[in-house]
């Protein structure tokens, strides 16, 4: 018996939250690039067009996740971690907090009050998203992990990107490390706006579409899934 295994309350449920355009009324990945452009750290002419195209590919379900990560994580390798952390604090205040809605916070608080295990699971890299999850009061995060060497980002990716089927893989790995599996939870919730999250939404007991894209909205309607809005 593993003495370090977490204690799972028999009635505890699992609440999973996508981040971008779900808990946030915007996309933290897309806006991080725009923020770096505004800070003069990325060239607008060469970067903005590719950022727009990758965002369109994501919405269309045609995103090459590894090509995107090569593009998105490279800027992290160009600057010391201390500077990046300082920039992120500014990014939180200027860009992210205005995208945090009262309805989203109330939903998180409701699950926490019920004693549910809460987790943000997002394709966006964990450097950008960990402080955002913490701002909502959510301790646990699964994001795409940037590779780190000697405390600095290399521009590469570590492990499986938390995207589409990769979210299922990463969640299974995370639960396994806790000596748990999805079936241990009588009720499991996943809130998302994106059809890219259908692989994981199909596995939980309570999938919930949130301000969903047209593909997910249509699928949710066919399946009788609830469709809610977290916008103020």
Which of 18, 193, 197, 213 does the annotation list as catalytic? 18
- Any long-range contacts for 85-91 (C-beta under 8 Å, 24+ apart)? 87/35, 87/36, 87/39, 87/41, 88/127, 88/128, 88/131, 91/32, 91/35
Q: Which two tokens stand for residue 182?
A: 């999805």
Residues 6+ apart with CB under 8 A from 11: 115, 186
H-type alpha helices, 114-209: 126-135, 165-177, 198-201
Other C-beta atoms within 10 Å of 79: how many?
15
20 is catalytic: yes
Residues 15 and 189: beta-carbon distance below 8 Å = yes
18 is catalytic: yes
Which of 20, 29, 116, 145 does the annotation list as catalytic? 20
Residues 143 and 18: beta-carbon distance below 8 Å = no
Q: Locate the DSSP E strands across the chain.
A: 14-17, 117-125, 140-149, 152-158, 188-192, 206-210, 227-228
**3-class DSSP state for residue 149?**
strand
Where in the sequence numbering do the catalytic residues fall? 18, 20
């Amino acid at each position: 018996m593993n003495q370090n295994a977490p204690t799972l309350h028999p009635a505890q449920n699992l609440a999973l939250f996508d981040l971008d355009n779900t808990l946030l009324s915007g996309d933290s990945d897309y806006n991080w690039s725009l923020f770096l452009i505004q800070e003069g750290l990325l060239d607008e002419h060469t970067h903005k067009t590719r950022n727009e195209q990758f965002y369109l590919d994501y919405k269309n379900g045609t995103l090459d996740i590894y090509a995107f990560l090569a593009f998105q994580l490279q800027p992290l390798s160009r600057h010391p971690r201390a500077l990046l952390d300082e920039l992120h604090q500014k990014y939180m205040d200027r860009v992210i907090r205005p995208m945090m809605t009262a309805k989203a916070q109330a939903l998180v608080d409701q699950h926490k009050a019920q004693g549910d295990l809460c987790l943000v699971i997002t394709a966006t890299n964990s450097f950008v998203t960990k402080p955002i999850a913490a701002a909502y009061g959510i301790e646990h995060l699964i994001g795409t992990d940037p590779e780190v060497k000697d405390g600095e980002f290399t521009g590469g990716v570590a492990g499986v990107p938390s995207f589409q089927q990769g979210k299922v893989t990463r969640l299974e790995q995370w639960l396994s490390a806790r000596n748990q599996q999805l079936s241990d939870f009588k009720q499991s919730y996943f809130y998302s706006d994106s059809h890219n999250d259908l692989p994981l939404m199909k596995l939980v007991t309570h999938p919930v579409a949130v301000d969903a894209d047209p593909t997910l909205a249509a699928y949710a309607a066919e399946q009788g899934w609830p469709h809610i809005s977290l916008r103020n």
